[in-house]
Structure 1
Amino acid sequence: MLQFAGDLRRLRRRAGEPTYRELGRRTNYSAAALSEAVSGRRLPSLAVTVAFVRACDGDADEWTDRWRRLADAQPGAPGAPPSPYVGLAAYQVEDADRFFGREALIGTLLALVDERPFAGVFGASGAGKSSLLRAGLAARTQRTPLVVTPGADPVAELAVAVAGLADEPADRVHDDLAADPQALRGWLAKASGDLLLVVDQFEECFTLCDEQARRWLIRALTSAAGPQSRIVVGVRADFYAHCARHHELVAALHRAQVLVGPMSAEEFRSAVTEPATRAGASLETALVARLISDVAGQPAALPLVSHTLAETWQRRRGMVLTLTGYEDVGGIRHALARTAEQIFDELGEADRTAAQRLFLRLVVPGDGTQDTKRRVRRPELDAPAALLDRLAAARLITIDRDSVELAHEALLHAWPRLVGWIARNRDDLRTQHRVSEATAVWEAHDRDPDTLYRGARLDQAVRLRERLNQRERAFLDAGQAAEQTRSAVARRAARRLRRLVAVLAALTVLLAGTAIAAVVAQRSATRQRNEAVALRAVDTARGLLISRPQDAQALALAAHRIAPSDQTRTMLVLAHAAATATTLGGGFATTPGRVAITWEPGVTDGQQLWRPDGDSWLPAAALPTGDGFLYLMSADERRAVYRNGPVSVLWDLSDLDHPRSVTVPADLPVADSLDRTGTLLSGVSEDHRAQVWRAGERTVRRLPAPGVQSTALLPDGSGILLCRLVGGVYTVEQWTLDGVRTATLLREAYRMYLSAGPGGLIVATSETGQAVLMDARDLREVRTAARVDGLRHPTVAAFDQAGPAVALADPDRVQLWDAGSGTPLLSVDTQGLDLGAPRPDGGRVAVLGPRGALWQLDSDLPRVVREICSAPVTVDWDRLPGATPKPLCPD
């Protein structure tokens, strides 16, 4: 090791002896870390070694080989004792002898299982639920344990597990279970007279299963629970509301729930020291104290701790884990990111691209919840086997019998590169996930043509073709072929319709005695024909929205002239918005107003700010947001909150040429809202208390109200709205910032997400698809302006700062409401277009469309027609067989 360090020093001399400060600038490592690397006291990490060598113009490959040969002789080499820590993976049943710190909770859970046939274990991601269920409950129960996860096909997962225990053919078990979910009870009894079925990661029931599989699983588990077959489900806490939507789960979980919270200091000390003690090793007292300090206030840090200790084990001194080794791997905050980044840096260019696609396929983007990992079958992955093996060896992914998944959801917020990938591809990930589900449905129905995509949904999916696997590409190919066939059939039908109209005309002449009836019939036929032609034109226009918006606009206008309807009005608004869409730089990151923020190819690790200049924009400063994404913006657009994994950054955009970051206290939860100027931020803490923070100050104010679910600051900062769970009912209340309740505004059976606008306007949306628009200018008499049903969660509410208008945008529709009169001004079906970030202004709603383009949805239809007709517009009437050519624009 001394020779290795000496050679590093000689390499530095040959490079002209740059200072360690200069080397630090070149490598992004501290001068102290680089100086320590050449001291000879211990072997530096490979990442530090390679960075040092490259900064001194050395051969990185040669030094990598030398480092690995030397590392083989270190305590962490293959011949050394195995690590007592499992890293990111959950503790399994066979790891019970090194699982500590949860003894009290295990006893509570064992007692609950003895009392109740069905129980639920809830906790945040990273709280240790899987380890508790496997190495705790399943390892210590006197019953026969059986541990499964739902996956996308819970029938198959349970069939394989039960068949192995009952020593029966899996196909036979699968057929019985598929035919009747209540058959699970009989098979569990046959497998063992006294059995404990543990269903870990039960949230996959909501993220991976379709509706039919979800209902089957819930009914099977709740009906199977009984005296001889105990059922325990492990569920991520943010999916608690999803469980509450199913009455079978509500009844089964009544007084049968365990909440997994953070460990106490003594429990944590036992969890980190006892595995090492059993392996004949120990931890420095300073290391234990540092670990306790680093995880304080981080209830989901256990997998990161386990991973960091596994890495520290490789750098121990003899059989002692040291604080120096812990700091060398980067500590809790950086060990996982460093490991993932090091593995990624060592990949070739092709493998890096394949790794990015692999990691994104293993993610389910959150829909009102946090992002979750996703288990994928091996045949669905195009990644090379060697890449999978390498990532599995690094404990970044887990390869099971026939599936692959992330080793832990901690990767989703601890590895900045992955966080950035997800943020930049969130909409595409949702589309890709829907394509994957649609492909499975298509295959399950023997490739039924009625299950194929068509129109805009097909065009949107085709755009992601390079990211899809072979099965999904076959699904798209079949959809495109069916679309071509459908168009040919429509043309033949139109020709037959024209011949039929000709025959009817001839019959009219011949049957003069029935002239009146014939006229009525002809008018009816003409009306029906026109309606059919108009709907076909609407369908064709939707398919052209992205690729040929000008043609879509002309077709929509023709359809509206032939047979006006809600569908033609919607398509006219959409097509006009697509045809007049504008973009800037690499695409807007949010709808512009006082400032525009764009993705800019020339800006490294950030976004570009722009200031308005009449009808155009002038570039201002670059905003160094790294892989963060825009999360909240104040109404005056002078403050913006960016999220980068678990970290929030508040940016002051008052001076667009010199944006300034404002430090956010580490104990502040994810922000729910800002006031109008961005001076105040609010959020909900882990113990469900509202917290308010004033920008620039270090103290966080906690309101005394318990059971808080969501918050919204009033625009003027004079108070705060709280959604609280009070006696089983969700209540919307207004409080002062001093902690005094001033009014109760609304009570509902479901959790509500709040938005506060100007002039006392309040919008409360829920996961049930309803939004309530309220006028709270007079707290003594709060008026419900409108109730909007049929929405999809999540629904985004945005206010017109100049008038009482509210825009509501969900994944399928954009609406504009006059909150004063409670009447709808605009309702546009946007299914498959992924329009978002609404901004209402004077009867229009600006939204972001595909590739960051800015669309303007206009509620004034005559104005839309005038703007279309201000330029020459023509229609190829042969495209609409059966339609009578008409002038499109009024004289």
Structure 2
Amino acid sequence: MPRTERPLEDGDSPELRLAAALRQLRQKAGSPTYRTLSQRSHYSVTTLSHAAAGRSLPSLPVTLAYVLACDGVVEEWERLWHTTAAEVAARDAPEERDSPCGTPVGAPYPGLAAFQLEDGERFFGREQMTNALVRSLSTRRLVAVFGASGSGKSSLLRAGLLPRLYAEAEPGAVVFLTPGPRPLEECAVTLAGRLGATAGALHAELADDPANLHRLVRQLLAERPAAAEAVLVVDQFEEVFTLCPSEEERALFITALCLAAQAPNSRCRVVLGVRADFYAHCTHYAELVAALADSQIVLGPMTGEQLRQAIVQPAARAGLSVEAPLVASLIAECHGRPGVLPLLSHALLETWHRRRGNALTLAGHQAAGGVEGALARTAESFYTSLTPARQQLARQLFLRLTALGEGTEDTKRRLLRGELDLDKDTAAVLEQAAGARLLTVDDLHTEITHEALIRCWPRLHQWLTEDRESLRRHRRLTEATLLWDSLDEDPDALYRGGRLAMVKEFLVEPPLSGTLSARERAFLDASLAAEEDTERHTALQTRRLRRLVALLTAMALLATGAAAYALHVQREVTQQRNDVLSRNVVTEASLLRDTQPALYARLMTAAYRLSPTAEARDGLLDAAATALPGHVRGVSAVAFDPSGRGLATGGDTVRLWNVPPSGPPLKAGEAVGGGPVASMAFSPNGRTLAVGGFRHRTQLWDVSDRRHPAPVATLAGHTDVVFAVAFSPDGRTLATGSYDHTVRLWDLTTRSRPVVRAVLTGHRLNVKAVAFSHDGRYLATGGDDRTVQLWDVTRPGTPVRSAVLTGHRHFVTSLAFGPGSRTLVSGSDDHTVRLWDVSDPRRPAVLPVLTGHTEVVISVSLSSDGRLLASGGYDGVARLWDVTDPRRPRPAGVLSGSGGALNEVVLSPDGGTLVTGSEESDTRLWSTNPKEALSRICARNPTPLTRTQWDRYFPDVVHSPSCPADRR
């Protein structure tokens, strides 16, 4: 028999009134048990019973889940919750500053926190932007607000836009959310209460088909007037890039938003708040680019008058005055500065604490530390008020709450409460930081109140810069631990090998070991235990193999007739042992690659000679690679001339190299063009080099004398980046593909005076790849519209499209034809390489899809005989494939030591050398033949392994020279 519910305490607080109303609703629903309510709402029994206990105000999602489980009217209860929350806030607002870290809720300024819906009456200075946003939303179905961190995007959406929407829209038709690490799940939870459905069911529907968001919005409005529309406001949209680890869920969420806004019968309008430095991330999604073409609101710094309104009006509404010198000083400090608004608001809040009577004074502002100093002083006051032990906890907490930028500024990271060890001290630190408004805490999450704290608190900035690589490793460890937890501690999700070796320091170094949570320590302990089990198993297997060899040897002495069989078995056992040793040496030696390259190379040669496993082969090819002097801004394009004796590398300039039959290439000359290089190609006779760039033009260079390249002509006409160039086999036509969505065919009969023959307009988005077939009859083009298009260019002046190849799920980045023009290879942003049979160009057939890359495949290249294929991507890996039979391709090598994302991979005509260009200003030459790689290593590294080194890595193996010189 279930226990009866504890009676409510005596009193008339807002929390008790809301709890009593919830209990009355449950009685009207037939008094279902809390276990039944839990099954209906997917919240725990404890959470639901606590919501009706009256001891604290439950969160809005919990309240609506309780109401929905009891068949209540969601819209009425949502309004009741907001009213109750306002009463609680007004009651709890202290009249005076209680401590250096306390902040009154009733102050006229919010400090670091964004203005909220209930703050609309004291939100000033952005009226013009609010009106512009409302006007834009009335004519466009999807609008994005871009602005720097701290420019007031969240306040504009919450306190500017939302009150206008709630005043005009149907009740419940305004949906507000922030994406977090699971944007589809967040969307489902937000909609569930309004639709009378479970969050789990809605999440499954959205994951199955993103168009279901459009259908759910129509369902939400089914009982409303025909003209009614829903508005979906997504604040901090950049979280889909910084917090969401799944590219698939990110793409589904973006597609769902675009479909909901742009479907022919759409009843939804979408508003996105996006940090400006994530604009480039948005351009990676074609549907979002199309939707934002003319639907952007840019939030810049406030004007002087707008700043004056934001300073003076909230104080006036609270019955306060602001000294004129203070207003002038604040406007002078903040005018024209992006991202300064949270600092201004916090400085005003601290000045309010130091007010004289009803007046905010310049002296009080100066005492608070000014605009920059007020926030740093608040943070330091909070930190210094802690004990040394709690100071260490605060450091760990703020580091966990920061997402390290990759080419962007560091951002805040929303933290699940389960990621923390909530002991007494940690809870106290959280409470004090939240009291100082440095952190925002709710039932499930903790986050930094505003990213301005990351920029302006010197101590936090110092923590973040002391050892960013350790922080990145720790963050990856945290993500791995969460994955391990989500998979019910699946042993296959544990760290092993090199990844485990890199994080062992967290267990042995006291400063690092103290940063781990209990779950992270458990994850590492489980990983170490699994590794020890593996080592014990390997040792046991080795001992068994040794005993077997000894037994077989004894049997050979006893029976002459069994000698041949015993010898055969011994060889198999020895080979098995050699295979294991070879793989183990490759794994151990990988840690020496950057610190002891000579020893690494020797170990790779010895491991390969002992047993030529795939791992040893890849390590050998890596050790034999040769690096060329780097470009200033990275290597963005590489090209071999048809003979294979000339090489061009492009970045900030174009460098030309002579490639001798043996030894590294020698620099011959340099061409300085009109900007960064995006693409390059040699003419069939090797005398002309075409260079496409980011300044919308293609340059032709005479490279007959590579020591003195000379400009020949400049091809103008494109209106955006020329990302791809290719010569026809006869050298008379040049194809150029551009981000202006077109391909141009140029007549080079007179090389110094090129003429446009035709402009191909078949692509809807950027063109990123062009390639001629070997017979010159067909041109393949590929781009961001995810298609590959084949064109009959037998008559270059009147090209005809033969076919459109579809199948890639993302941008097509690179193309290459095989010999005989029967096979076409395409690389894509969807991490795959596709093979196509184009024997009949009007009816191409799909061949196998090559997988293995974990990031964008940016380049593909085929050897002249069509037997070897190379692919390279942003994962920093070049992969080799044997495509002698295109219907049955086989892996032929994995080259992963280049450092940084690859921009280009090119095979020499004979397929014996691969050249890679990367973002790290690095060009590398790799031998694709292990025997040739072995010769190169032995030639440049004659020092053999010492006996100690051999015994360390190859125990119980007779010493064998890995190079001819070792025999001397």
Q: Shorter-normalised TM-score: what interval?
A: 0.5 to 0.7
User: Which of 447, 453, 459 is matched with 2:501 structurally?
Assistant: 459
Distance 1:75 1:510 in 2: 93
Contact 1:101-1:263 at 8 Å conserved across structures: yes
2:399 alignment partner in structure 1: 360
Contact 2:601-2:623 at 8 Å conserved across structures: yes
2:238 alignment partner in structure 1: 203
Q: CA deviation at 1:503?
A: 11
1:343 alignment partner in structure 2: 382
2:938 alignment partner in structure 1: 862
Q: CA deviation at 1:206?
A: 1.0
2:115 alignment partner in structure 1: 91
Change (3 A) 1:90 1:408: same
1:164 alignment partner in structure 2: 193
Distance 2:610 2:902 in 1: 25
1:518-554 Cα offsets, whole Å, 9 max, x none, are 9999999987874554123212444788999999898
Q: Larger deviation: 394-403 or 468-477?
A: 468-477
The reply on whether 1:886 has 2:960 as its aligned counterpart is yes
Distance 1:518 1:300 in 2: 78
Contact 1:197-1:230 at 8 Å conserved across structures: yes
Contact 1:558-1:875 at 8 Å conserved across structures: no
2:826 alignment partner in structure 1: none
Contact 1:197-1:229 at 8 Å conserved across structures: yes
Change (3 A) 1:116 1:95: same
1:399 alignment partner in structure 2: 441
1:119-164 Cα offsets, whole Å, 9 max, x none, are 2221111111111111111221123322211111223322322223
Distance 1:828 1:484 in 2: 40
5 Å-filtered alignment, 1:171-570, equals: 171-192=200-221, 193=224, 194-211=229-246, 212-225=248-261, 227-382=266-421, 384-465=426-507, 466=513, 467-491=515-539, 530-531=578-579, 533-542=581-590, 558-563=606-611, 567-568=615-616
Contact 2:622-2:897 at 8 Å conserved across structures: no
Distance 1:543 1:339 in 2: 44
User: Which of 859, 873, 876 is matched with 2:949 structurally?
Assistant: 873
Secondary structure in structure 1 of the residue aligned to 2:114: coil
User: Which of 873, 876, 879 is matched with 1:790 structurally?
Assistant: 873
Distance 1:265 1:818 in 2: 59
1:781 alignment partner in structure 2: none
Q: CA deviation at 1:303?
A: 0.8
Matched to 1:874, the amino acid is W
1:678 alignment partner in structure 2: none
Secondary structure in structure 2 of the residue aligned to 1:369: coil
Secondary structure in structure 2 of the residue aligned to 1:873: helix
The reply on whether 1:100 has 2:142 as its aligned counterpart is no
Contact 2:900-2:920 at 8 Å conserved across structures: no
Secondary structure in structure 1 of the residue aligned to 2:949: coil
Distance 1:478 1:341 in 2: 38
The reply on whether 1:729 has 2:721 as its aligned counterpart is yes
The reply on whether 1:148 has 2:205 as its aligned counterpart is no
Contact 1:455-1:542 at 8 Å conserved across structures: no
1:374-416 Cα offsets, whole Å, 9 max, x none, are 0001111236111101001111111123101111111111111
Distance 2:216 2:206 in 1: 9
Distance 1:496 1:235 in 2: 62
Contact 2:859-2:873 at 8 Å conserved across structures: no
Q: Larger deviation: 521-530 or 276-285?
A: 521-530
Q: CA deviation at 1:251?
A: 2.9
Secondary structure in structure 1 of the residue aligned to 2:112: coil
Matched to 1:223, the amino acid is L
Change (3 A) 1:877 1:201: closer
Matched to 1:482, the amino acid is A
Q: Larger deviation: 330-339 or 79-88?
A: 79-88
1:595 alignment partner in structure 2: none
Change (3 A) 1:252 1:823: farther
Change (3 A) 1:252 1:870: same
Distance 1:185 1:842 in 2: 51
Contact 1:392-1:398 at 8 Å conserved across structures: yes
Contact 1:184-1:224 at 8 Å conserved across structures: yes
Q: Larger deviation: 323-332 or 214-223?
A: 214-223
Change (3 A) 1:80 1:236: closer
Change (3 A) 1:276 1:573: farther
Name the Cα RMSD after superposition: 5.6
Distance 1:153 1:81 in 2: 31
User: Which of 158, 162, 167 is matched with 1:138 structurally?
Assistant: 162
Distance 2:916 2:496 in 1: 22
Distance 1:89 1:304 in 2: 10
Q: CA deviation at 1:220?
A: 2.8
Contact 1:540-1:552 at 8 Å conserved across structures: no
5 Å-filtered alignment, 1:678-717, equals: none
Distance 1:511 1:120 in 2: 85
Matched to 2:145, the amino acid is V
Q: TM-score when scaled to structure 2?
A: 0.54
User: Which of 97, 118, 134 is matched with 1:110 structurally?
Assistant: 134
Distance 1:837 1:563 in 2: 33
Change (3 A) 1:352 1:78: closer
Contact 2:876-2:898 at 8 Å conserved across structures: no
Q: CA deviation at 1:418?
A: 0.9
Change (3 A) 1:406 1:706: farther
Matched to 2:463, the amino acid is W
Change (3 A) 1:76 1:418: closer
1:128 alignment partner in structure 2: 152
Distance 1:436 1:750 in 2: 39
Change (3 A) 1:458 1:812: farther
Matched to 1:128, the amino acid is G
Q: CA deviation at 1:293?
A: 1.3
Gaps of 5+ in 1: 1-70, 578-631, 634-672, 674-704, 708-725, 733-744, 752-765, 773-786, 796-806, 830-835, 844-857
Change (3 A) 1:866 1:280: same
Contact 2:181-2:240 at 8 Å conserved across structures: yes
Secondary structure in structure 2 of the residue aligned to 1:147: strand
1:310-369 Cα offsets, whole Å, 9 max, x none, are 111111222222222111111112111111112111111001101111111011111111
Distance 1:77 1:541 in 2: 52
Contact 2:399-2:463 at 8 Å conserved across structures: yes
1:547-566 Cα offsets, whole Å, 9 max, x none, are 99999898656424414678
Change (3 A) 1:345 1:74: closer
Change (3 A) 1:221 1:568: same
1:792-829 Cα offsets, whole Å, 9 max, x none, are 4899xxxxxxxxxxx9964589999999x999899999
Q: CA deviation at 1:498?
A: 7.1
